[in-house]
A = this chain, B = another copy of it.
Amino acid sequence: MPVTRKPDERLRDVSRRMILDRTAGLLVRQGYGATSLRDIAQACDMKAGSLYYHFDGKDALVEEIMTEGVKRVEASVLDALQAASGSPPLDRVRIAMEVHLRTLHDKSDYGSAHIRCFAHVPADIRHRLRSTRAGYDAVWARLLSEAQQAGAIAPDIDLHTLKFAIIGMMNWTLEWPLQNGVGPEEMANSFFRIAFMGAGQD
Q: Which residues of A contact B (CB under 8 A)?
A: 31-34, 90, 116, 118-120, 122, 151-155, 157-158, 160-162, 164-165, 167-173, 175-176, 178-179, 187, 190-191, 193-201
Contact = CB atoms under 8 A, between A and B. Distances in A.
A195 B31 contact: no
A200 B154 contact: yes
Contacts of A119: 31, 116, 175
Nearest to A137: B176
A13 to B, nearest CB: 31
A97 to B, nearest CB: 12
Contacts of A172: 164, 167-169, 171-172
**Residue in A33, A167, A196 with the greatest tally of chain B CB atoms within 10 Å:** A33
A175 B169 CA distance: 12
